[in-house]
Chains A and B, each alone.
Chain A
Amino acid sequence: MEPLLRIEHANKHYEGTRALDDASFSVLPGEVHALMGENGAGKSTLSKIIAGAERADSIDIYWQGKRLEIASPIEAQRLGIGIVFQELDVFPNLSIAENIVIGNLQMERRAYVNWRELTAFCKPFLEQVGLTAAPRARVGDLRTGERQLVAIARALSFEASLILMDEPTSSLAEDAVERLFAVIRRLKANGVSIVYVSHKMKEIREIADRVTVLRDGATIGTRQAQDTTIEEIITMMVGRELATRPQRQRREPGEILLSVERLRTEKIKDVSFEVRRGEILGIAGLVGAGRSELGAALFGLDRIQSGKIRMGGHEIEPRSPREALEAGFGLLPEDRKLEGLMMQMSVGENTTMASLGRFQRFGFLRSRAESQASQPVHRRMRLKAASIRIDVSSLSGGNQQKVLFSKWLLKNPEILFLDDPTRGIDIGAKQDIYAIVEELAVEGKGILFVSSELGELLDNCDRILVLCEGRATGILDARSATQEQIMSLATLQERAA
């Protein structure tokens, strides 16, 4: 069968680093082709080139056997290439419907917007991705997961023959992932090809026909998904064998560090739980269940309407992140670029941002003391950065996350709320983060660990708090709990209704 898209000899340089090194791969009509690799392997660069968002230094692109160039996103769209990017490029101030048709040449040629027609046009695509929000709702008011669904619906609306999905499930809860897979299978049945960029082994096994692995910008190989094993793919990705399961140390949870009683905010209805010293409490729930909102309440970002928070026996009511920090809270936010890092500032400056008071003498910052304090933390995080002076924006996603983590390691709070800390980062970095979380627990910290991946929660946590529509629907012992149990608690309200 002739490939729909064939790429050969793709080369691309960014300042000093080689993003693509003679990479190649091809997509057959109607197949789901997974593109895998660690962060910095070149997956995102290759996707951007196919999408016309970046130009390669040199490349041969064949579309249906014809050699051509993709000079701009519009050209890619004209060829029939739809894109769902990792960095959600939606327009937050426009409505869902407008986001779907924007750039749609046929719809945009009209001089005025006929809302009824627009809504009707968008409806089937919204149904396909299972988005129930009104088409006229502002995209900025949606949660991250729902925004991604809008991006996918937009790609569907082009009737593209190839859809490129860059980490489409990185912010989706399990039920939404299932829905997405159903959509992918349907598209595949209609002869649409999917290029699926992901880190998640399980998904690849479930959805992909073929897998191409990139490492350091070069193509390592392509395998039939059925014939390969997870171990083989991991070995191809990292170039070495890797223990997939984190090593668990035995540790005894100590005294109660944090106790939350009938907490209520605008988004949280009724949540009670306790965290002991040395305990990792997982927090599970579907998109919109209130996982991030729980962090926002504890961290003084959302106003607390009722309920009690006790920290080491003292009742506290944080009204701002500053107060929460003083009480001993730390929060690793869900979106590292939007809420976590100063992207134009250096690795070192980001690391010390929350603990600058420590490096001051006579009113002046001592930069040597800063770097002396940062380096051990970076080593502990296994951060890969050429220097602490380089901009944090030049690092890969996994390393950026490690810088963000370093900031909190240095600040050293008693309770750390981790909001999906491994979202969109590669396996190696994930393992490093699991190891650090475990270490912090051994040190006697209390950890709250939010994740959309149930397996990750079961592997790393002691107990798992399940949220559903702002309520706590259960707390499970992670050693005996199953994914099915978590899912049934996470959908408890829905089924009761």
Chain B
Amino acid sequence: MLISPHARDGSNIFLQTGNLTDVLRQMSVVGIIALAMTYVILTAGIDLSVGSTLALSTSLVAMFVVRPGPANLFLHAAFAMGIAVSASALVGVVNGMTIAALGIPPFIVTLASMIGIRGLAKWLTNNENIDIGFGSDAAARFADFVNSKMVILGTFALLAVIFWIVLERTIFGRYVRAIGDNEKAGRYTGLPIRRIKIWVYALAGLLTGIAGVLYAAENHQGNPNAGVAYELDAIAAVVIGGASLAGGSGSIGGTVIGTLIMGILTNILRLKNVDSNVEMMVKAVIIVLAVGIQKSGKKT
């Protein structure tokens, strides 16, 4: 079987702890984006700009971390990360405000920013990768620290817990689901629809910014061409997790499971040296199967 977890020699490399945590680490970047994407999709929206925003974030953090900055190593790294994350959050705020104030469909607005932000990232970096290096300077030490499994997995886990609690236990979370379920009824109930929408896209920007910082550290470079099609991976994870693009249904738990399915699948296929093009075809089938099985399960 193509997707059985055994290597050609019969040993079960998949189940080795080293490999399992690798799987988790690899999927964390997309997983973090998928958390915020869950909120966006719950409101019956979509955010196509996250891939480009990720590129912007990796580029900015690399640019500022390789520059001479504050003498304090911690401050230096925090400053670079702060710039990258706030710029990404700002992209989200602009997306959200355009969608909420002008009433343009989210697909169109975020399609535009997907193109525009990619351009911005390339323009800022002259379309060149910014290497962080492996020495003992501030930049390299930042990358080594952030790139630890602990930090990456910890960030994903912490954000997943926060997003889960906010969705299940706060007014904001309740409104997010309500708006996607029936926006008109939300209006008739006096819910702050615009404010919620702006927040949801701002959070998508914010989390993508954080994911971008992790990506830069993992790859030891800022890359304006990073994150291509990540928006689609994130959407796929959310949808496999049981969300409906029509809004109103979906959960953080589901999205985490969806992310794991995508990550494990990729990992198994790579361990078996399956051609990456074939990998895409298998993924396509899995996405449709996963959603199809849920649909038929709901009917009975």
Q: Does A112 contact B (CB under 8 A)?
A: no
Which residues of chain A are near B248, meaning CB under 8 Å?
A: 342, 344-345
B190 is contacted by which of A338, A340, A354, A364 (Cβ under 8 Å)? A354
Closest to A331 in B: B188
Cβ–Cβ < 8 Å partners of A363 in chain B: 170
Q: Which residues of B contact A333 (CB under 8 A)?
A: 185, 188
Chain B residues, Cβ within 8 Å of A324: 190
Specify which chain B residues have a CB less than 8 angstroms from the CB of A233 in the assembled complex. none
With contact pairs A353-B178, A357-B171, A364-B169 given, residues A342 and B185 touching in the complex (Cβ less than 8 Å): yes
Q: Min CB distance, B264 to chain A, in Å?
A: 29
List B contacts of A166 (CB < 8 A): none
**Residue of chain B at shortest CB distance from A360:** B171
Q: Is the CB of A344 within 8 A of B185?
A: no
B184 at the interface (CB under 8 A from A): yes
Most interface-central of B181, B188, B248 (chain A CB within 10 A): B188
When chains A and B are docked, how far (Å) is the Cα of A333 from the Cα of B184? Answer: 11
- Quick check: A365 and B184 within 8 Å, CB to CB? no
Q: Give min CB distance, A154 to chain B, whole Å.
A: 26
Q: Please, which residues of chain B bring their CB within 8 A of the CB of A275?
A: none
Chain B CB within 8 A of A143 CB:
no
Which residue of chain A is the closest to B175 with respect to CB atoms?
Answer: A356
Instruction: Provide the bound-state CA to CA distance between A320 and B186, in Å.
Output: 12
Convert A279-318 into 0s and 1s, putting 1 for each residue whose CB lies closer than 8 angstroms to a CB of B. Answer: 0000000000000000000010100000000000000000
Q: Are A338's CB and B171's CB within 8 A?
A: no
Determine whether A227 belongs to the interface, using a CB cutoff of 8 Å to chain B: no
Interface: A474 (CB within 8 A): no
Say yes or no: A342-B181 contact (C-beta < 8 A), given A322-B190, A354-B189. yes
Known: A344-B248, A365-B169. A339 touches B185 (CB 8 A): yes
Task: Closest A residue to B182 by CB, please name it.
Answer: A342
Q: Which residues of chain A have C-beta atoms less than 8 A from B187's C-beta?
A: 301, 321
B174 located at the interface, meaning its Cβ lies under 8 Å from any Cβ of chain A in the complex: yes
Q: Which residues of B lie under 8 Å from residue A321 when comparing CB positions?
A: 187-190
- Give chain A residues whose Cβ lies under 8 Å from the Cβ of B178: 342, 345, 349, 353
- Report Cα–Cα, A342/B184, bound state, in Å: 9
B154 at the interface (CB under 8 A from A): no
Chain B residues whose CB sits within 8 angstroms of the CB of A349 once the complex forms:
174, 178
Chain A hits for B192, CB < 8 A = 322
The docked-state distance in angstroms from the alpha carbon of A365 to that of B189 is 18
Number of A-B contacts (CB under 8 A): 66
A299 to B170: give the CA distance in the assembly, Å: 27
Q: Determine whether B98 belongs to the interface, using a CB cutoff of 8 Å to chain A.
A: no
Chain B residue numbers with a CB within 8 Å of A364 are 165, 169-170
- Closest CB-CB distance, A157 to chain B, in whole Å? 31
With a CB–CB cut-off of 8 A, which chain A residues contact B165?
364
A277 contacts the other chain (Cβ, under 8 Å)? no
- Chain A neighbourhood of B190, CB < 8 A: 320-322, 324-325, 354
Nearest CB in chain A: distance from B199 CB, A: 14
What is the interface of chain A mostly: helix, strand, loop, or mixed? mixed
Q: Mark B129-167, 1 if CB is under 8 A from A, else 0.
A: 000000000000000000000000000000000000100
A7 near B: Cβ within 8 Å? no
Does A445 lie at the interface of the complex (its beta carbon under 8 Å from any beta carbon of B)?
no
Residues of B within 8 A of A487 (CB): none
In the bound assembly, the distance between CA atoms of A264 and B170 in angstroms comes to: 40
CB-defined contacts of A353 to chain B, threshold 8 Å:
174, 178, 189, 191
Closest CB in chain B relative to A486 CB, distance in Å: 28
A342-B248, A345-B177, A353-B178 given; A407·B189 CB < 8 A:
yes
Nearest-Cβ distance from residue B191 to partner chain A, whole angstroms: 8
Shortest Cβ distance from A329 into B: residue: B190
B125 interface residue (CB < 8 Å to A): no
Q: In the complex, what residues of B have CB within 8 A of residue A344's CB?
A: 177, 181, 248-249
**Contact across chains for B181 and A338 when beta carbons are under 8 A apart:** no
Chain B, Cβ-Cβ closest to A299:
B188
- Distance between B23 CB and nearest chain A CB, rounded to angstroms: 33
Give the distance to chain A from B227, nearest Cβ to Cβ, in Å: 32
Q: What is the bound-complex CA distance between A357 and B190, given in angstroms? A: 13
The interface residues of chain B lying within 8 Å CB-to-CB of A407 are: 189
A339 touches B188 (CB 8 A): yes
Specify which chain B residues have a CB less than 8 angstroms from the CB of A301 in the assembled complex.
187-188
CB distance from A428 to the nearest CB of B (A): 25
B171 in contact with A341 (CB, 8 Å): no
Q: Which B residue sits closest to A363, measured CB to CB? A: B170
Residue contact A365 to B185, C-beta cutoff 8 Å? no
> Which residue on A lies nearest to B248, using beta carbons?
A344
Give the distance in Å from the alpha carbon of A339 to the alpha carbon of B169 in the complex. Answer: 25
CB pair A339–B184 under 8 Å, yes or no, is yes
A385 to chain B minimum Cβ distance, whole angstroms, is: 18
**Cβ of A343 under 8 Å from chain B:** yes
Closest A residue, CB atoms, query B249: A344
- Chain A residues contacting B184 (CB-CB under 8 Å) are 338-339
Contacts of B182 in A (CB 8 A): 338, 341-343
Cα distance A365–B181 in the bound complex, in angstroms? 20
Q: Which residues of B contact A325 (CB under 8 A)?
A: 190
* Residues B181 and A345 in contact, CB atoms below 8 Å apart: yes
Q: How far is the CA of A363 from the CA of B175 in the complex (A)?
A: 14
A339 to B191, CA, bound (A): 13
The residue in chain B whose Cβ has the minimal distance to the Cβ of A320 is B190
Which residues in A have their C-beta under 8 angstroms from that of B186?
A: 342
Nearest to A295 among chain B residues (CB) is B188
- Chain B 171-207 near chain A by CB (<8 Å), digits 1 or 0: 1001101100110111111111000000000000000
- In the complex, A74→B104 CA distance in Å? 38
Which residues on the B side are within 8 Å of A331 (C-beta)? 188
CB distance from B189 to the nearest CB of A (A): 5
A331 to B177 Cα, complex, angstroms: 22
Are B185 and A338 in contact, CB atoms less than 8 angstroms apart? yes
* CA–CA, A240 and B134, complex, Å: 84
Please, how many angstroms separate the alpha-carbon atoms of A363 and B182 in the complex? Answer: 24
Closest Cβ of chain B to A324, distance in Å, is 7
- Going nearest first, the 5 A-B pairs with the smallest beta carbon separation are A342-B181, A325-B190, A321-B190, A322-B190, A344-B248
- Can you pick out 30 interface pairs between chain A and chain B where the beta carbons lie within 8 Å of each other? A299-B188, A321-B187, A321-B188, A321-B190, A322-B192, A324-B190, A325-B190, A338-B182, A338-B184, A338-B185, A340-B188, A342-B185, A342-B186, A342-B248, A344-B248, A345-B177, A345-B178, A345-B248, A349-B174, A349-B178, A353-B174, A353-B178, A353-B189, A354-B189, A354-B190, A356-B171, A360-B171, A363-B170, A364-B169, A365-B170
Given contacts A325-B190, A342-B186, A356-B175, 16 further A-B contacts (CB under 8 A): A301-B187, A301-B188, A322-B190, A331-B188, A333-B185, A342-B177, A342-B182, A342-B185, A344-B181, A345-B178, A345-B181, A354-B190, A356-B171, A357-B171, A360-B170, A364-B169
Interface residues of A (CB under 8 A from B): 299, 301, 320-322, 324-325, 331, 333, 338-345, 349, 353-354, 356-357, 360, 363-365, 407
